Structure 1
Amino acid sequence: MLRLFCWLFLLNGFPSTVVCRCYENHLVEEVFDSLEKVLNYVDVNKEFMNVDAVFGLVLGEAHVVYLNRFNQIPEEYKEKTFKIMKKFERIVEETKTFLLINKRNLIFLNTVLEFEPWIKNVTYKNLLAKFYSSTPIDTYQKYLNLLLGSSFNEKISDDCILELLQQEKSFRSKHLCILSEECYKIFRLGSQTKFDPGYGITHSLLFLQIARSRMCELNGINVKRNIKKFCSYILWEMQENVGYGFLGSLDDLLLEQITLCGYEGYKNFITSEIIDYILSIQKPSGCFGVDSGNKITKKTTRLKRESNLLPDNCIDHTTGLGVSTLTSILRYLLYKLLNNECDYYD
C-alpha cells in the first residue's frame, strides 16, 4: 500500500526519479521490518538453530557490520542499521552457544561461523546466464527432472568442507590447501561444462567461497573464474524458476542462490520481482520454511539431514537463509540509495 502511494506522485506529474526514490525508500522500510521479524523469531528459537542456520546469521551479520564500519549507509538509515547490527551481535553470539553441545561443531565455530572473514567489499554488476547441457531443457517437467537428477551428497560435501578447514593455518595470509581427489570430483572443480544442479552447484560455490574467505589457494583452480562460472549457471536455474512463477518447493534453494550469488554482487539475483517474492513468502511469525500449499512433489523440497522443523512450519536452515537473503537485499538497496541509482519504476 505504501509503495502504491508513490505512484500518485507520477500521476500528479512528479519526475520519475522522485517516484523511484519514494518507492525504494518504502521498499527499504519493508526489508528492515522483515529482517526485524526474522531476527525476533530466531531470538525465540535460538536453541533449535543448526550450523547451517547460524551460518546464514553470520553472513547477515557480516553484511551489516560492513555497512556500519565503512559508512555505506544513507544518513536517514544509519541509526536503524546500527541497531540491527547490535541485534545481530547479541543473537549470533547467544545462538552459537547452543552449538557447543556437539564437539563436531567446534571447528565450524572457530572458522566459518566467525563473521570477520566474511566481511568484504561488493561491486555490483550484471551477469549473463549460461546453461550447459547436451539436451535442451525447455519444459517445466524437464526442469524439475534436471533438479531431481542431482547426485549431490550432503555428507560428502560436509566432509570436504571439514577437510579444507582442518588443514588451514590462518585466514589472514594465503596458503595452499590440499584436497582429496574425491572432493575435486564432488564439487566439479575441474569441469568446464558439467555441473551438478540444484544444491550440488550451490555447495560447489559455497566451498569456493569458504576457501577464499580462509585465504586458501587450491592447486590448479582459479577461484574467481569458477565462482563467476558457477553463478552464471545458477542464474539460469533461478531464472527458470522465476519463469514458472516461483515454485514453492524450491524456496529454500532460491534463498540459497540469492544468498551466495548476491554476496558476489550479481544484481540479477536481487531484482524487484525477486524481492517482492521473498517478502511474500515470509511467514507471519517472521520465519521461512515449508510451503504448506505446495502442489509439487515432496522430492523437490529439501529438508536437510540435520534440519529442524520449527513452529509455524518453519525450517531452521531456510530461516537462516532468509536472514542472509534479506541482509543481502538490504545492502544492495542501501547502496543504490547512497549512489542515487534507481531502476524500480520501469
Structure 2
Amino acid sequence: MTTPYVLLVFCLTTVLPTQQEVIDDVLTSLRKGVTFLEKQSRNINLDGVVGYKILHEFEPLMDTSFWSIPLDWTTTDPSLVYATRRSTECYDEQLSDKCMTLLLGTWKDNGTPCIVTKLCRDTMTRFGCPHYSLSHQLLYFMIGKMNGCSKMLKGEMRQSRVNMTVQHYQRIFCSNMMKSNQEIYKNGFTGQTHDIFIENILLCGLAGFSDFYNLDWLEHILLWQDPEDGCFGKEYDFSLGFPEEHIAPQQPHRRVKRREKTLRDGCSSHMTGVAVSALGGYLNFYLSEQDITKRPLT
C-alpha cells in the first residue's frame, strides 16, 4: 500500500518551497496512517479501509477504478447555504444503505444497477439536512455519477427542480458542508466534530471543490494524528453519536447510529480511514497545483 506514496517523492524535486513543505507534511502523515492500516488490516472494518460508510454489499466501491480524481476544480457558493437547517439528522441509515445498493446493483446477486425509487430520490434531494445526512446525500450522488446512472433525477415532479442536475445538487450540498466546516472550525472543534469535519473535506474534495483543501484545516488534521501509532480519533468515543453542542437549543438530542469499530489501542477505524483518504486528496490537489505553476504563460 505504501509504494505509490514512496514513488511520489521522486516526482517532487521542482516543487515550490511552500508547496514542497505542505506535500512533505502530507506524505509523512500518509506514511504513518497507511502503515497503521496495514498493521490493523485484519481488525478494521470496511468503513475504515475505504473511508466511507460501506456495507458488505458495497464491493464495487472497493475497486480503485470506480473513483475518479477531479480534473477540473471549482469552489462552493455561499449563496446556496440553507436559510434554516434541521436540528436533528434527517437521514435513516438503513434507507441510505438501501438506496446506494440500488444504484450499485448490489441489492441482490446480479441486480440491476441505477435503480432510483421515489423514496430514495425524495430523501437524497431533501434540503436542510445537517451533518452526516448531508454528507451521505452528496455521497449518493457521487456514487450515481461514477456508476453511470445518468437518469438519477428522472421522475422529479417538483416544478422548481425540473431543470436541476446532479452537479447542481453537489454544489448545494458542498456549499452547505463548507458552511458546516467553517462553523466547526470557528467553534474550536468541540465535542466529536473532528470526524464529520474530515469527512466533508474528503467527499467535497473528491467532488472537485478545491476550497475544502484549506491549509489551516490541514494543520489541525495533522495535529489529530497520533504521533506514535499513526491513527486518528484516539481520544474520542464515537459510539456516543453526534455531539450535543451542535444540536440547536431547546431541541431533543437524537443520536446517530454510526458503524464504528474502536480498535484495542483506542484508535477510530472510521476516522483513520476518512483522514487518510482526505490527506490523499490534499496530496493530489497540491501536486496538481505545482503542475499549474510550471506551465508556460500564454
TM superposition score category, shorter chain reference: 0.7 to 0.9
For the residues of structure 1 that align with 2:106 and 2:39, how far apart are their CA atoms?
36
| Equivalent pair of 2:260/2:268 in contact (CA under 8 Å) | yes
Aligned match of 1:317 in 234, 254, 270?
270
- Corresponding residue for 2:235? 291
Aligned to 2:21: 26
2:38 match: 43
Match of 2:144 in 1: 211
Corresponding residue to 1:233 among 168, 176, 193: 176
Decide which of 274, 286, 291 is 1:333's aligned counterpart.
Answer: 286
Q: Percent identity?
A: 26
Aligned residue runs from structure 1 range 67-146, under 5 A = 105=56, 107-109=57-59, 111-129=60-78, 130-134=80-84
Please list every run of 5 or more consecutive structure 2 residues that lacks an aligned counterpart in the other structure: 1-14, 157-163, 245-254
Q: State the distance in 1 between where 2:166 and 2:72 align.
A: 17
Q: In structure 2, what is the Cα distance between the partners aligned to 1:37 and 1:167?
A: 34
Distance of 2:32 and 2:258 partners within structure 1: 26
Match of 2:252? none
Q: Deviation per CA, 1:94-115, whole angstroms, max 9, x where unpaired?
A: xxxxx9xxxx72x422x11111
Letter aligned with residue 249 of structure 1 = Q
Deviation of residue 147 (structure 1)?
A: 7.2
More helix by share: 1
Please state if 1:280 is matched with 2:223.
yes
Question: How far apart, CA to CA, are the structure 2 residues paired with 1:293 and 1:179?
Answer: 35
Residue 305 (structure 1) shift? 3.7
Runs of 4+ in structure 1 over 3 Å off = 290-294, 301-305
TM-score, length of structure 2 as denominator length: 0.76
Kept in 2: contact 1:122–1:264 (CA 8 A):
no
Give the C-alpha shift of residue 293 in structure 1.
10
Cα distance between partner residues in 1 of 2:276 and 2:123: 28
Whole-Å Cα distance in 2 between the matches of residues 265 and 118 of structure 1? Answer: 12
Q: Structure 1 unaligned runs (5+)?
A: 1-19, 58-98, 135-145, 169-174, 342-346
- TM-superposed deviation, 1:151: 2.5
Q: How far off is 1:290 after superposition? A: 4.5
Figure out how many residues of one structure are paired with residues of the other and give that number. 252
Q: Structure 1, residues 102-145: CA drift from partner, whole Å, max 9, x if none?
A: xx72x422x111110212443223222332134xxxxxxxxxxx
Q: What TM-score do the two structures reach when normalised by structure 1?
A: 0.66
Report how far residue 54 of structure 1 moved.
2.4
Structure 1 residue matching 2:16: 3-state secondary structure: helix
Q: Relative to 1, partners in 2 of residues 1:310 and 1:148: Cα closer, same or farther, differing over 3 Å?
A: farther
Q: Decide which of 108, 118, 126 is 1:181's aligned counterpart.
A: 118
CA distance in 2 between partners of 1:293 and 1:317 (Å): 12
What is the rounded CA distance, in whole Å, between the counterparts of 1:309 and 1:184 in structure 2?
33
Query: Equivalents in 1 of 2:274, 2:95: separation in Å?
Result: 21
Of residues 222-231 and 282-291 in structure 1, the stretch that sits farther from structure 2 once superposed is 282-291
Q: Which amino acid aligns with 2:231?
A: C
Q: Deviations over 1:246-299 (max 9, x none)?
A: 3351111011100010112212211110111111111121111143599xx864
Q: CA RMSD in A?
A: 2.9
- By how many angstroms is 1:233 displaced? 1.1
Mark the CA change 1:303 to 1:153 in structure 2 (over 3 Å): closer, same or farther: closer
**CA separation of 1:37/1:167 partners in 2, compared to 1, >3 Å: closer, same or farther?**
closer
What SS does the aligned partner of 2:90 have? Answer: coil
Q: Where does residue 5 of structure 2 map in the other structure?
A: none
AA partner of residue 63 (structure 2) = E
